[in-house]
Amino acid sequence: MKNNTINKKEIEKFSKIAEEWWNPHGKFKPLHKFNPIRISYIKENIIKTFKLVRKETPLKNIKILDIGCGGGLLSEPMSRLGATVTAIDASEKNINVAKLHAKKNNLKINYIHTSPEKLKNENKFDVILNMEIVEHVEDIKFFLKSCSKLLKKNGIMFVATINKTLKSYAFAIIGAEYILRWLPIGTHDWEKFVKPDNLIEILKNNKIKLDKLDGMKFNIITDEWKISQDKSVNYIAKFIKN
């Protein structure tokens, strides 16, 4: 039985460019463009599911675990919305960058250098964020099983990833890495992309059911991402624990 979800090669890849996390024009430029749509999707769905009052800090008292948090691009906005955020990453460099940036911005985020199967946490979380991470882990089944153990009953798990289609190979690898140079070459491995049906099946086996599945599409004209019916490349899913 596997007891580790860390893919050393993937960690080294992101550790090398860790200093770039907060540069909106650097190697993580696509994620900076991606971030507004992710934030609003997560926020709106948490408010709706938990019937929260929309105010300045609508996520107050919501405990969020951000897995594979990188430099904190999602952890910080969640913290600003009032959530109590724990954020983990298998790259120590990423965690150090994230800690430094949060300190500069006076944000209290509990950053930990670890992976979900090794996280020591007595209290479970209301929300787990698995954003752009499942396509980089060593064993997706073991990874999602470890994550599901950390989620409260009726809690929400968000997963955003890339579908395994010919179109995703053309767009996410050939287009984004080789032609547009949005991402460093080698960022993605098509073999590790995940079809929505596979993801749904794995989580169903861990008593976590699909609530919502949406596509995400980049509009070249407006230069921004939007929620779409098209799930053939990027998609985001909301799951609820039974």
Q: What mean pLDDT is predicted for residues 107-135?
A: 95
Is the CB of residue 141 less than 8 Å from the CB of residue 220? no
Phi then psi dihedrals of residue 117, to 5 deg: -70, -20
| Domain 8-241 -> CATH class | alpha beta
The pair of structure tokens assigned to 147 is 């994550």
* Mean pLDDT (the chain, rounded): 93
pLDDT value at 43 more than 70: yes
Q: What was the pLDDT predicted at 14?
A: 87
Does 179 score more than 80 pLDDT?
no
101-116: average pLDDT = 97
Q: If you average pLDDT over residues 139-166, what whole number do you get?
A: 96
For 29, 53, 99, 109, 134, the CA distances from 104, given in Å and listed in that order, are 21, 29, 9, 12, 30
Question: Looking at the predicted structure, is the pLDDT value of residue 1 above 70?
Answer: no
Contact 87, 115 (CB under 8 A): no
Residue 14 contacts residue 184 (beta carbons within 8 Å): no
φ/ψ of 44, rounded to 5, equals -60, -40
Res. 176: pLDDT tops 90:
no
Overall average pLDDT of the 71-100 stretch: 97
Q: Where are the domains of the chain?
A: 8-241
Which pLDDT does position 2 carry in this prediction? 61
4 falls in which pLDDT band (50, 70, 90)? confident
pLDDT of residue 241: 98
Residue 183 has pLDDT above 90, yes or no: no
Q: Which two tokens stand for residue 217?
A: 């599409």
Q: Which residue reads 């599945």 in tokens? A: 213
Instruction: Quote the percentage of the chain above a pLDDT of 90.
Output: 74
pLDDT band at 170 (very low <50, low <70, confident <90, very high): confident
**pLDDT tens-digit series, residues 185-218:** 778 888 889 999 999 999 999 999 999 999 999 8
pLDDT mean over 115-138: 94
Query: Cα–Cα distance between 164 and 161 in angstroms, integer?
Result: 10
pLDDT at site 184 = 76
Residue-level pLDDT at 173: 79
Give the integer Cα–Cα distance in Å for 76 and 52.
20
Statement: residue 177 has pLDDT above 90: no
| Amino acid code (one letter) for 155 | G
> Alpha-carbon distance 180 to 54, whole Å?
39
